[in-house]
Structure 1
Amino acid sequence: MSYARQRSRLRARLTAFVLAAACLAGLAGPAGAATPHDQGHDRPGRPVADDGFAAGGDLTMLNWVEDSGGRYYDENGRRVDPVQLMAANGMDLARLRVYTATGPDHPRIGYPDSYLPEGYQDKADMLDLARRVTDNGMETQLTLHYSDYWSNGAIQDIPSEWRDVTDLPDDQAVAALEEHVRDYTREIMLDMRDQGTVPAYVSLGNEMQGGILFPYGTTTSEQGWENLARFLRAGYEAVKEVSPSTQVILHLDDAGNMDKYEWFFSTADAHGIPYDVIGASYYPFWTRKDIPTVCAFFEQLHERFGRKIMVMETGINWNQVTHDGVEGQLTDNGPVPYPETPQGQADFLTDLFRQLKEVDDGAVIGDIYWDPVMIPAPGVGWEVGQPNVVSNTTLFDFRGRALPALSAYRTA
């Protein structure tokens, strides 16, 4: 962290104490002082639900948004700490993603060829957020991308700091990557344990139906599967070594596609890949599935593989266009009867949480919303120099005011 950022955080922290005192005295209003992302908190959020279902959100972008000038308000326009507000409304699980490097000093090879700002979405940033959400009574779901930046089914680039393995024969490269995964995972888990924020769930990769650490750990060949099994076993063992109770997730996209999930998890089982929970991304726009259809899929998936299911990503539009007046990442809300309005978003989440909880045998243990906090802020986009394409799917409007969808968490 730069000296300037440390000084800024200290100044913000001192201001926050003033705000906290004012709040206790009933004096804080809409134009209250700044609420920094690393302050202490006066009120913990609601404890994690004891009904077996976690209603969560991905809060990875929060520090970047706040440091860039993003501000959050409750439904009455009063300045708030968004984590505190979300927790008070019933959000009890925070997804935090972490990359191996950020900033222009870590050039990427492959896609994307840009970068995140220095100091965001790396380990230190994640640990900072983990403290904050824990202080507010939330559990943490940690996603390890095992990449400098974004990874998904088609993009799983080896981190720049590990890339020297590509000069080795394949068998030596695989062995080296296996140890990198083990050491890196253990290091992060130990850091989280040391600060009292052990994650309840850890995902080994993000939407990793194609594998991880390309080209070695791909799911396109038998050798690739064998390599992938070594990588995932190393990650699993490192998590359990530090925290046996932490549940390990394997996360795929395209919830509702039984052929894909049958292929992936039956092949994973054949290779002895250990995992505890099946993770699935469900967006009505991407999957073209309504809620009853995807719930039937989750029931079938649970019956087939005997694992509980975490919905790792869910998103829907509350406005047809972003704050820039253009279509966002989701160009429509798919085949669901919920309009692209604030109330439509609220009704969707209310119905989704209720129906997920009704899946037989408590098969679905939670849902994590994407992206609740990425409101408009100067310079903030999906990477440096790129636009914010999800400002119309957040749980706060373009000015940072809480949307009606937050009420859905009260009944989740």
Structure 2
Amino acid sequence: MSAWLTTLVLVAASLAGFTAVQGAQASPPREPEQRPRPAADGFAGGGDLTMLNWVEDSGGRYHDEHGRPADPVRVLADNGMDLARLRVYTETGPDNPRIGHPNSYLPDGYQDTPDMLDLARRVDRQGMDIQLTLHYSDYWSNGEIQDIPKEWRDVTALPDDQAVAALEQHVRDYTRATMLALRDQGTLPASVSLGNEMHGGILFPYAATTSEQGWENLSRFLRAGYEAVKEVSPSTDVILHLDDGGNMDKYEWFFSTAEAHGIPYDVIGSSYYPFWTGKDIPTVAAFYDQLHDRFGKDIMVMETGINWNPLTHEGVEGQLTDNGGVSYPETPQGQHDFLVDLFGQLGQVGDGAVRGAIYWDPVMIPADGVGWEVGQPNVVSNTTLFDFDGRALPALRAYRTT
């Protein structure tokens, strides 16, 4: 197939994908002029609820702190959680299944656009704001893993300049279509993260931050995503999210280079886990203060987490083998105290620069077949905000302080 014909095919496929996402909504649209709910005054306490439908459909059941069966979103909201992070991956349909890295995958129907839209309606009904994370991949992405979605991979047969142009259009169309689907059902996000922990870039190898050309391509892709978000919802903030909260060298390098390439964004996103960083709360709070002074941007802690039990429900060490560089014990009370101190100290960062913190996978309780991917174990059941039986843990009370 000639290069120009291949390009036409790619454009047609992109438009088809746009139409498919538009049709994914499952409830009558509200007024298209709706805008995101204004952020509440003060510090936002959030949680990543992406796994919820999969857990519930697999038999997971939740209870309030008194042991009464309850809707987990209602339990979270009643305790003061006012922000829900929802991650979304690309989808290709039953005849062309999603394939992640290095062949990781999820069940059909979860963590794709229709699933995300359903969760967006659920959290919106409970008064939560939405933080949307676009992975631009079939499955998990981070600083080292940024695989091109399967349905976009035909670009690899093109010369580099044509491949980059095609991917730029894919990013623009996919972002815009997802935002339109959210707008049409009345659940516009307060913020959108373009990628996840993407200090290494996105859509490897074209936009890897290991070369000047990679940065040039990354600037094109991120600008396309930014413009698509703002076209649909000018008041939605765009986040660029890195891992390793507290590592000033990494953040200085990334955001100064992004600034030099004219990459637009509104908020710095940061992951902070004591286990991974080895830093206590005062240290990371001082880092965020320095980061705000340096770049003049507000900050959202996109991920945080700590163990409430040393072992998972299967009696083995989980993703976090201990609680890292903090003195909080691996107990329900230790988890509670960590969150109270984290929310309190981050809320005191100068000028209210830290907008909030989002807890990682608070709802991923034990459920049949549910793991970090199909066929793999649940390695975070001992870091959730509900215990192994789905009962709300004391840590939820920390949200009442935000």
Asked if Structure 1 and Structure 2 have the same fold, meaning a TM-score greater than 0.5 normalized by the shorter chain, the answer is yes
Aligned partners of 1:73 and 1:82 also within 8 Å:
yes
SS at match of 2:308: coil
SS at match of 2:155: helix
Q: Distance in 1 between matches of 2:93 and 2:125?
A: 28
Q: Paired residue for 2:302, among 306, 312, 324?
A: 312
Please list every run of 5 or more consecutive structure 1 residues that lacks an aligned counterpart in the other structure.
Answer: 1-37, 39-46
Letter in 2 for 1:405: A
Aligned partners of 1:100 and 1:122 also within 8 Å:
yes
Report how far residue 53 of structure 1 moved. Answer: 1.6
Q: Paired residue for 1:350, among 311, 328, 340?
A: 340
Go from structure 1 to structure 2 and tell me whether the alpha carbon gap of 1:335 and 1:145 turns closer, same or farther (over 3 Å shift): same
Q: Distance in 2 between matches of 1:154 and 1:68?
A: 31
Go from structure 1 to structure 2 and tell me whether the alpha carbon gap of 1:384 and 1:146 turns closer, same or farther (over 3 Å shift): same
Corresponding residue number in structure 2 for 1:213: 203
Q: Paired residue for 2:136, among 146, 156, 166?
A: 146
Go from structure 1 to structure 2 and tell me whether the alpha carbon gap of 1:109 and 1:370 turns closer, same or farther (over 3 Å shift): closer
Aligned partners of 1:103 and 1:119 also within 8 Å:
no
Deviations 1:23-59 (A, max 9, x none): xxxxxxxxxxxxxxx9xxxxxxxx9873332110000
Letter in 2 for 1:53: F
Q: Distance in 2 between matches of 1:274 and 1:239?
A: 12
Q: Paired residue for 2:379, among 376, 389, 400?
A: 389
Q: CA RMSD in A?
A: 1.4
Q: Distance in 2 between matches of 1:310 and 1:194?
A: 26
How do residues 65-84 of structure 1 correspond to structure 2 at under 5 angstroms? 65-84=55-74
Letter in 2 for 1:355: Q
Go from structure 1 to structure 2 and tell me whether the alpha carbon gap of 1:394 and 1:192 turns closer, same or farther (over 3 Å shift): same
Q: Distance in 1 between matches of 2:315 and 2:188?
A: 41
Q: Distance in 2 between matches of 1:321 and 1:51?
A: 37
Q: Distance in 1 between matches of 2:78 and 2:100?
A: 42
SS at match of 2:363: coil
Identity of aligned residues (%): 82
Go from structure 1 to structure 2 and tell me whether the alpha carbon gap of 1:289 and 1:185 turns closer, same or farther (over 3 Å shift): same
Aligned partners of 2:134 and 2:195 also within 8 Å:
yes
Report how far residue 335 of structure 1 moved. Answer: 1.3
Q: Distance in 2 between matches of 1:174 and 1:74?
A: 49
Report how far residue 109 of structure 1 moved. Answer: 6.1
Letter in 1 for 2:297: R
Q: Distance in 2 between matches of 1:354 and 1:401?
A: 25
Deviations 1:83-139 (A, max 9, x none): 011001100000000000278754566623031000000000000000000000000
Corresponding residue number in structure 1 for 2:84: 94
Q: Distance in 2 between matches of 1:51 and 1:112?
A: 42
How do residues 38-49 of structure 1 correspond to structure 2 at under 5 angstroms? none
How many matched pairs?
Answer: 367
Residue 410 in 1 paired to residue 400 in 2?
yes
Corresponding residue number in structure 2 for 1:289: 279
Q: Paired residue for 1:193, among 161, 179, 183?
A: 183
Highest RCO, 1 vs 2 (Cα 8 Å, sep ≥ 6): 2
Q: Paired residue for 1:136, among 117, 123, 126?
A: 126
Residue 230 in 1 paired to residue 204 in 2?
no
Q: Paired residue for 1:240, among 230, 233, 236?
A: 230
Output the TM-score relative to the length of structure 1: 0.87
Corresponding residue number in structure 1 for 2:327: 337
Corresponding residue number in structure 2 for 1:262: 252
Q: Distance in 1 between matches of 2:113 and 2:59?
A: 22
Output the TM-score relative to the length of structure 2: 0.89
Q: Distance in 2 between matches of 1:104 and 1:328?
A: 32
Q: Paired residue for 2:243, among 245, 248, 253?
A: 253
